[in-house]
Amino acid sequence: MFNHHDITRNACMLHGPLRHRGYDWWWHSFTAQDAQTGEDKAFFIEFFLCNPALGGDAPVLGQLPQNRAAGRRPSYLMVKAGCWGEDHCQLHRFFGWNDVVLHAEAPYRIEAGDCLAGEEALRGSVTVSPEDAAAHPEWMCDAGSLRWALTLQKRIAFNVGYGASRPLRDAEAFAMYWHAEGMKTDYAGWIEYNGRRYTVTPQKCFGYADKNWGRDFTSPWVWLASSCLRSRLTGRRLLDSAFDIGGGRPKVYFVPLDRRLLGAFWYEGKAYDFNFSHVWLNVKTEFSFEEGPEEVVWRVRQENLHAAMETEIRCRKAEMLLVNYEAPDGSKRHNRLWNGGTGWGLVKLYDREGEGLKLVDEIECTHVGCEYGEYDEE
C-alpha cells in the first residue's frame, strides 16, 4: 500500500556521485487566509540543495555568465518561496555551503541564517528588492518579501515503492526520484507576504509536502495534487482523501522510457494505486496538456487490473508561475515550466467489475497543485 510513511526516504540523498552532480529538494505548498479579510491565498516554500561537494563560502550560481564560460557547475542551498494568484511571485535566497548546517539522515534538518526546514517545522525569510532582481538575472527570481513560521504534520503519504528503493537509489538508476511523505499535510502558523499577514490552519491549508532528487529533471514534467476534495455524488467533503500524480518521461540508466506517470488516490481509507513501476498492476496511462489563451488543462486517464481514474484539471495562466530551476550540470533546459496552486477540476474513480467499470465517485477538486513543462531533447 502506498500510504506508508518512511522518513528515511525523506532524508538527504546527496551522497556518492550526487554530491558532485546532483540536487535534492523539499517542497511545501499550502493555502493561508488573509488575517484581515479571510481571503484564501496559496503559497509554497522549498529548500533546494545543489552539488554540495563543489561548495564553499559563497554560492556558485550556474547562470552567471562567467561561471557558464568557465564551466563551473552550480553549488548552493536555495531557499525558494512564493505565492500564486494575480500577484504571483517566486523569490530565491542563496547560501554557500559553509553557511549551511545539514543533518542529512532521517529526520532531516537544514539550517542557514534564519531559515530552517525539517520534518515538523519551517521557518525563514526571503527578501529581494526590485533593483537586485533586475540586476541579477542569474538569481532567476522576482522581487518581493516573504517571512514564515510554520509547523507541519504529514497525514497521508504517497510512497512510490520500488522506484525509490535503496538498491535503485544507490545505483542512481533513475535521473529523477520522487517521494511524497505528505500528499496530505496539516500546516499551522503564519506567513507574511509584502508586509501583509496570513494565517495558516490545519482545517483550511489543504497542504502538501514532497521531495525530488537526482541528476536531471524529467521532460515532460507533470504534477497534479490536492486534498481539497468533495464528492459530487453525496455533496460531502472527503476529509481522509488525497490524490497525487507525477512523472512524465523517466530515464532509467540514461535510457528514457515512454510517457509514464506515477498516480495514487487515497479515497476515504481505500488505496487506488496507478504506479507504473508496480508491474503486477499492469498500469496503463494516457495524458495530455493543452495551453489555451487564458487556461491550461491537464487530462489524465490511468487504469490497472482493479480500477480506473480519469482526471481533468484546469488552472488560470494569470495565477501561475513559469517556475525556474537550473540542473546540476549548470544547464537551464526548462524555460516554460508552468506551476500553479489554484487549479480545479474533476476526478472520476471506477472499480473494475468483470469486463466493465463501475463508478465509485465523481470528486470535485480545488486548491490543486499543478505543473507542466517540456523541452526539446538535445
Question: pLDDT digit string (tens) for 275-330?
Answer: 988 888 999 999 999 999 999 999 999 999 999 999 999 999 999 999 999 999 99
Q: Is residue 104 part of a domain?
A: yes
Q: Is residue 179 part of a domain?
A: yes
| Cβ pair 206, 228 in contact under 8 A | yes
Q: What is the rounded CA–CA span in Å between residue 280 and residue 304?
A: 9
**Mean pLDDT across the chain:** 93
Output the pLDDT for position 376.
Answer: 75
Query: How do residues 232-280 score in pLDDT, each as one tens digit?
Result: 999 999 999 999 999 876 555 444 556 689 999 999 999 999 998 888 8
Confidence of residue 74 (pLDDT cuts 50, 70, 90): very high
Q: What are phi and psi of 365, to 5 degrees?
A: -120, 135
Confidence of residue 147 (pLDDT cuts 50, 70, 90): very high
Q: Which secondary structure element, helix H or strand E, spans residue 357, and what is its range?
A: strand 356-373
Residue from 1, 60, 47 nearest 271 by CA: 1
Q: Is residue 4 part of a domain?
A: no
- The reply to whether omega before 107 is within 30° of 0 (cis) is yes
Q: Is residue 10 part of a domain?
A: no
**All residues at 6 or more sequence positions from 192 whose CB lies less than 8 Å from its CB, including other chains:** 145, 146, 147, 148, 198
pLDDT of 170 > 60? The answer is no
Number of domains the chain is built from? 1
Query: How do residues 97-134 score in pLDDT, each as one tens digit?
Result: 999 999 999 999 999 999 999 999 999 999 999 999 99
Q: Is residue 259 part of a domain?
A: yes
Q: Is residue 222 part of a domain?
A: yes
How many CB atoms within 10 Å of residue 290? 11
| Cβ pair 46, 81 in contact under 8 A | yes
Query: How do residues 324-348 score in pLDDT, each as one tens digit?
Result: 999 999 999 999 999 999 999 999 9
**Joined grid coordinates for residue 71:** 564551466
pLDDT of 41 > 60? The answer is yes
Q: What is the rounded CA–CA span in Å between residue 305 and residue 284?
A: 9
Q: Is residue 180 part of a domain?
A: yes
Q: pTM here? A: 0.95
Q: What is the rounded CA–CA span in Å between residue 96 and residue 77?
A: 7
Range of the domain at 366: 16-373
3 state SS of 209: strand
